[in-house]
Structure 1
Amino acid sequence: MNDTAGPLPASSASGAAPTFRLGVMQIAAPVLGGMLVGTALAYVLVAATGGRMTAGELWAFVSAGVFASVVVPAMPPHYSVELYDDCLVLRGGRRRDIPWRDVIGLEVRKTAGVRTVVIRVSDGRRIPLRAPMSLLDRRFDAKAQILMDWWTARGGGPDRV
């Protein structure tokens, strides 16, 4: 689900390294879930106010949710995290290079049952990474460890002086 491109070594002679991307289901599942909850809420609100929702209106709500869960994952930007020997590259609406020397911490954070990696940089900011993410990804722990290994191999990590 959460794709990586290339091998998953802790170091690379060529400088190229893994790329972490969200899988289609990791993008579609929250959209579909949100649309279904929204549809149910709309139905409850209509019922609570004494109105009625026809089968056609309910079908329109559900169809919009299914359509959105198919279309949204196909739309740009595609977020990814790329590892290189000198920096961590975040791609999305724009490219953002974060030199490894500026990364002072990596941590795994859990929000609403979904674990993500957050990096701390030398200016005090905390930057949550969109990938890898534990939602529908059994290899999340291995991918988080790869990020930690790359950071440690490039002068960071718990033993940093």
Structure 2
Amino acid sequence: MRHTEGTPEYRVGAAQAAVPVLVGAALAMCLLYLGLRWTADPMTTTELRTGAYAVILATGAVVILPRSAGARLTPEHMVVYAAIGQGKHQIPWADITRIDVRSILGIRQVSISLVSGKRLTLAAPQSFLDRRFDTRVEELTGWWETYRY
């Protein structure tokens, strides 16, 4: 995302992307190891090590690959960048009827309601590993209140 001076931009951070991948893959490896332990063909140390390397490689790839999902605020609209391959959406401030914070599995995310009745949950900002989440939500809400008319 190209940053323009004076326009706030929110993106998913490296830790916000990598920690769920690392924890999920490590948990899957543990379950696989335990599940195969009581079969006729248990996992060998070499196979376990190879799996651990794959987990580390996947986590590293998530950290290195660009994370484009997020949002950028301009005086005219909010630009929402979706996940890879889904492009961007420019939403005029007047089309946003409400900004809420929703909690999903203990992680707070910003949800915007549109005049069309649609509701979008933004990838960023989110409270997971972001100490400035509340400040970012206040900033986003302030922009909406300033530019919606």
TM-score of the two chains, using structure 2 as the length reference? 0.88
Whole-angstrom CA distance in 2 between matches of 1:30 and 1:77: 14
Question: Match for residue 152 of structure 1?
Answer: 145
Alignment partner of 1:112 is 2:112: no
Match of 1:90 among 80, 94, 98: 80
Could you report, residue by residue, the CA deviation over 1:58-114 in whole angstroms, capped at 9, with x for unpaired residues? 111111111111112322452120000110001243121011111011111111121
Whole-angstrom CA distance in 2 between matches of 1:21 and 1:120: 20
SS at match of 1:17: coil
SS at match of 1:104: strand
Whole-angstrom CA distance in 2 between matches of 1:126 and 1:119: 6
Structure 1 residues not aligned, in runs of 5+ = 8-15, 157-161
Structure 2 residues not aligned, in runs of 5+ = none
Match of 1:38 among 11, 28, 32: 28
Whole-angstrom CA distance in 2 between matches of 1:48 and 1:125: 49
Could you report, residue by residue, the CA deviation over 1:13-53 in whole angstroms, capped at 9, with x for unpaired residues? xxx41001111111111111110111011112112434311
Question: Match for residue 81 of structure 1?
Answer: 71
Q: In structure 2, what residue type is equivalent to 1:26? A: Q
Question: Match for residue 61 of structure 2?
Answer: 71
**CA 1:6 to 1:99, structure 2 compared with 1: closer, same or farther past 3 Å?**
closer
Whole-angstrom CA distance in 2 between matches of 1:48 and 1:110: 39
Q: 2:102–2:109: 8 Å Cα contact kept in structure 1?
A: yes
1:146 is displaced (CA, Å) by 0.8
Q: CA RMSD in A?
A: 1.8
SS at match of 1:52: coil
Identity %: 33
Whole-angstrom CA distance in 1 between matches of 2:30 and 2:99: 39
Whole-angstrom CA distance in 1 between matches of 2:65 and 2:81: 14
Q: 2:14–2:62: 8 Å Cα contact kept in structure 1?
A: no
Paired residues in the alignment total 144
Whole-angstrom CA distance in 2 between matches of 1:105 and 1:97: 16
Question: Match for residue 141 of structure 1?
Answer: 134
